[in-house]
Chains A and B, each alone.
Chain A
Amino acid sequence: MKRILTKLNKAFDHRVRLGIMSVLVVNDWVDFTFLKDTLELTDGRLASHIKALEKVKYLEVRKRFVGRKPNTSYRVTEKGRQAFQAHLDALEELLKQSK
């Protein structure tokens, strides 16, 4: 039990971060507004969690202009995808063991 618990990723401690990753793994580039609307978060909260995930290089950021508006999009990195998958596996394993 303890061994599996340690496999649960610290970076995903927060539900919001898991939410961000869930959206990113099934999409290509996703922009800030879309994430915000889907997860129903405020700008500030979303930004801080994105920053945390960016720091551990689980997602990459692309900033550009669409017309005159700045547009920031995010994409999951290979490292992030693997970490997320491992985290899900660990969660499932935990559930299986306790059945």
Chain B
Amino acid sequence: MTPHNREHLATLSEIRSLMERSSRFISLSGLSGVAAGLWALVGAAAAFVYLGKVPFDGRYHTFVDVGQWGVPPVVFFAINASLVLVLALFSGIYFTTRKARRNGQPIWGQLTRRLLWSLAVPLAVGGLFSLAMIRSGMVLLVAPATLVFYGLALLNASKYTLHDIRYLGMTEMGLGLIAAFWPGYGLEFWAIGFGLAHILYGTAMYMKYERKL
């Protein structure tokens, strides 16, 4: 190869890398996914204990008013879900900023804003939609709906971050749809989607992008 050609080749690969770096938020850490998955499993386990239920025992969740430990179900699930969400968010932010700092990439910028915005819109719609379902008594469909909307949010956000998120999104949507047509196992599917799927994809992404660093 002539020196000239080597230069052209270098130019082309530089262009490719600039296009990638400037259009995607690549600091998303796989460990964020693993952490979120672990918190979700803890939350789901707490819910099973609360309901006095074994996963896949085939009994429908009946949301009676009494509840355990003197805590009504609505309050329990609201607290449980908020805790999982907050803990997952914080560990996600922690691992992702750590990765960005290590790679010397900006944490807050145009790309981060775009990524968060593309996630937030479908999630907010899904959250409100779930509230509407609870109000109308369609509690059985809440878990499937959150999975479907979360999957859509990931699919949408995958344009602005690592490609792999796209497949996680499809997995979540698939699980959500199965759960929707197989009602009564909402909590189980919720644990698989938000727990196991996050851990599996997070680990795979960590192995793929971060371990060698």
Contacts and interface: CB of A to CB of B under 8 A. Distances in A.
Contacts of B106: 37
A72 to B, nearest CB: 14
Contacts of B110: 30-31, 34
A34 B105 CA distance: 12
Nearest to B8: A91
A36 B18 CA distance: 12
B49 interface: no
Contact of A37 (B11, B19, B109): B109
Interface stretch (A15-23, A41-49, A52-60): A15-23
Contacts, number: 49
A19 B8 CA distance: 14
B100 to A, nearest CB: 13
Nearest to B6: A95
Interface centre among B18, B21, B106 (most CB of A within 10 A): B18
Interface centre among B1, B11, B14, B22 (most CB of A within 10 A): B22
A75 to B, nearest CB: 13
A26 B19 contact: yes
Nearest to B111: A34
A6 interface: no
Given A34-B109, A98-B1, A27 B23 contact: yes
B18 A98 contact: no
Nearest to A37: B106
A95 B18 contact: no
A98 B5 contact: yes
A95 B2 CA distance: 10
B9 A95 contact: yes
B15 interface: yes
B5 A92 contact: no
Given A31-B110, A37-B106, A22 B22 contact: yes
Contact of A18 (B11, B21, B22): B11
B11 A95 contact: no
Contacts of A15: 11, 14
Given A34-B110, A37-B106, A22 B18 contact: yes
Given A31-B110, A34-B109, A91 B23 contact: no
B9 A25 contact: no
B210 to A, nearest CB: 22
Interface in B9-30: 9, 11-12, 14-15, 18-19, 21-23
A88 interface: yes
A66 to B, nearest CB: 12
6 contacts: A19-B15, A23-B18, A38-B21, A91-B12, A92-B12, A94-B5
Interface of A: 15, 18-19, 22-23, 25-27, 30-31, 34, 37-39, 88, 91-92, 94-95, 98
